[in-house]
Structure 1
Amino acid sequence: MAPDTAAYLARIDHRSTVEPTLDTLHALVAGHNRSIPFENLDPLMGIPVHDLSAQALTAKLVHRRRGGYCYENNGVLGYVLEDLGYGVDRLAGRVVWMQPPGAPQAGLTHNVLAVTVPGEEGRFLVDVGFGGQTLSSPIRLQAGPVQQTRHEPYRLVEHPEGMALQTRIHDDWLPLYQFSLRTQPLVDLSIGSWYSSTYPDAVFVVGLSVALVTDDARWNLRGRNLAIHAGGGTEKIRLNSAADVLDQITGRFGIDVAGLGDVEARISQVLDS
């Protein structure tokens, strides 16, 4: 089933052309960044995320005004891009962001998009689902050159698994994830999402993560800790209670928590996770 593209465009406040051009792709990514948050409330509340169909993702992220993690954010955007005339390949990645040297290898539990734009050579890496450090613009799927986004510069480097994405922060190049260039079938992505949302020690099951990328800042919430990265600096705010955290989730991040149960009580259990 096709996504409700008109409703999606309204959700991200996209009011200009929908011709499948590179400019439109940039506008869609920016609109998604600022409108649909990264969040893991379903796994945190014990709700598995395994249905990655266009119907399910549109119902949750568009009509119910929720967010999601990589499989959901990139999933719904991928369906919309296909509907608009872009070519979309879904790829799987392995997160290495903030991992200490020698840490155990992570599973292939990240999902990104390789997008073909009519009339443009090559493909573009699109990722609206990596939380606080997600790409804020499409970049060419090409190893080597530094590529500027609406926020930080990024680059792709060759990797034995395919490619690896790095970002430059304070003059240091830091790795985010590595990914294969092999297209992944939906069944494999669904298995990765089910694992990420149900495995007892999975990061999305044991702690709260919420993020939103506005035009001039990155808003990251982890437990009770809110970080606002803007203008080369960072403001850190320690929230006092689960009620304060919930106020940020529904206010600043605009997430509708209706139907999820006692979210405040669950947040109180993971304030310092």
Structure 2
Amino acid sequence: MDRQLSAPAAQRSGIDLTAYFDRVGYAGPTEPTLATLTGLVAAHVRGIPFENLDPLTGVPVIDLGAPALAAKLVAQRRGGYCYEHNNLMRYVLTDLGFDVVPLGGRVVWMSPTGLDGPPHAETHLALVVRIPGVETPYFVDVGFGGQTLTSPIRLVVDEVQETPHEPFRLRAGGGGVAGNGYVLESLIGKDWRPLYTFDRRPKPLIDMQVGSWYVSTYPESIFVVGLSAAAVTDDARWNLRGRNLTVHRRDGGTERVRFDDAAQVCEALTDRFGIDVSGLDDFEARVAQVLDS
């Protein structure tokens, strides 16, 4: 398919596919195939960072429509969190001819109780993607921050699946609807660590808007009280939490940097994560607040 021919399809969602491809550095095929899906996921996670700067500065993220997401993540060269990343990917894939279903998830990653504690709120969004002519659907998540999937994986349980970074697998369970619950796990060192649970019930837009409003306004939300950013390169994962930057390399090495002040953090967001923070009023002052709290 000629990439220029994608423009009329993009108008169905409001996404300019050519602008999106340029934003993520994608120059591959656009037919709805596994090769296209794999290439787009890899390009997206390399090209658009994870960040929570709007909730941090008091701007709730509720408009998850295609025009708003394209304006922010593509035109303004910002990043976002799961509801933004995965909805943008959903619009792009649908315009290209994939069948995409959004699913809700309950995050247990970094939770002290993990899968054994009380249920967590359903505040994550992931995607199931069907490729025309392919029986087994694929699981896609370009919005889980520092541990996000860097390639699609088959929606099958108990199968270790390699990605450009860590191996991942899906297990049955997680408290979903009977027969439809899953746990996504990644292999960190020698241990399988659960990231979140989900089930196969499609998540309507209104539920996504409620979930996004909650995580971007709830006073105790980690997106409201702390700074987070993450980026993926071919050989590493970059994670910023407050003033602490951690770089986990594919070869097993880890680099840690502790910034002295808000100015250094803002510089890192711009230079290391490629985030344009110029449109955020009093942003450095807000960063200073959360660093000192």
CA distance in 2, matches of 1:218, 1:164: 22
Q: Hey, what's the Cα distance between the residues in 1 that align with 2:287 and 2:255? A: 22
Please give the alpha-carbon distance, in whole angstroms, between the structure 2 residues aligned to 1:98 and 1:51. 28
1:134 aligns with 2:148: yes
- State the Cα distance separating 1:202 from its structure 2 match: 0.5
Give the superposition deviation at 1:121: 1.6
Q: Is the 1:224–1:272 contact (alpha carbons within 8 Å) kept by the matching residues of 2?
A: no
Name 1:267's counterpart in structure 2: 287
Q: TM-score when scaled to structure 2?
A: 0.91
Give the residue type in structure 2 aligned to 1:11.
R
Matches within 5 A, 1:53-68: 53-68=65-80
Aligned counterpart, 2:211: 192
The residue that corresponds to 1:238 in the other structure is 258
Return the letter of the residue paired with 2:273: F
The 3-state SS of whatever aligns with 2:83 is helix
1:229 aligned onto 2:248? yes
SS of residue paired to 2:248 = strand
The aligned length equals 273
Alpha-carbon distance in 2 for matches of 1:237, 1:267 = 17
Q: How much has 1:122 moved relative to structure 2? A: 1.5
Which of 29, 37, 49 is matched with 2:61 structurally? 49
CA distance in 2, matches of 1:140, 1:247: 38
Q: CA deviation at 1:260?
A: 1.2
- The residue type equivalent to 1:72 in the other structure is E
Map Cα deviations across residues 171-192 of structure 1 (whole Å, 9 max, x no partner). Answer: 1010000012100110110110
Give the root-mean-square deviation of aligned CA atoms.
1.1
Residue 75 (str. 1) matches residue 87 (str. 2): yes
The separation in 2 between residues aligned to 1:156 and 1:194, in whole angstroms, is 28
Question: C-alpha separation between the residues in 2 aligned to 1:271 and 1:132?
Answer: 20
Matching residue of 2:30: 18
In 1, the alpha carbon distance for the partners of 2:171 and 2:24 equals 31
Mapped partners of 2:99, 2:130: distance in 1: 5
Q: 117-126 vs 132-141, which deviates more? A: 117-126
Identity %: 59
Q: Distance in 2 between matches of 1:237 and 1:98?
A: 21
Contact between 1:223 and 1:272, CA under 8 Å: does it hold in 2? no
Instruction: Decide which of 209, 227, 230 is 2:228's aligned counterpart.
Output: 209
The residue that corresponds to 2:126 in the other structure is 112
Q: CA deviation at 1:258?
A: 2.1
Deviation at 1:272, TM superposition (A): 6.0
In 1, Cα distance between the equivalents of 2:56 and 2:122? 20
Name which of structure 1's ranges 94-103 and 112-121 shifts more when overlaid on structure 2: 94-103
CA distance in 2, matches of 1:181, 1:135: 18
Structure 1, unpaired ranges of 5+: none
TM-score, length-normalised on structure 1? 0.98
Q: What residue in structure 2 maps to residue 256 of structure 1?
A: 276
Give 1:173's aligned residue: 192
Give the whole-Å Cα distance in 1 for the aligned partners of 2:54 and 2:22. 24
Residue 251 of structure 1 aligns with an amino acid whose one-letter code is: D
Distance (whole Å) between structure 2 residues aligned to residue 149 and residue 25 of structure 1: 13
**Structure 1 residue 105, shift from structure 2 partner:** 3.0
Q: Give me the whole-angstrom Cα distance separating, in 2, the residues matched to 1:122 and 1:106.
A: 29
- Does the residue aligned with 2:230 lie in a helix, a strand or coil? strand
Which one of the candidate residues 50, 65, 84 is aligned to 1:38? Answer: 50
Q: Counterpart of 2:183? A: 164
Matched residue type, 1:228: V
Q: Residues 154-210 of structure 1, C-alpha deviation per residue, up to 9 Å, x if partnerless?
A: 000001311010011111010000012100110110110001100111110000000
Counterpart selection for 2:164 from 150, 155, 170: 150
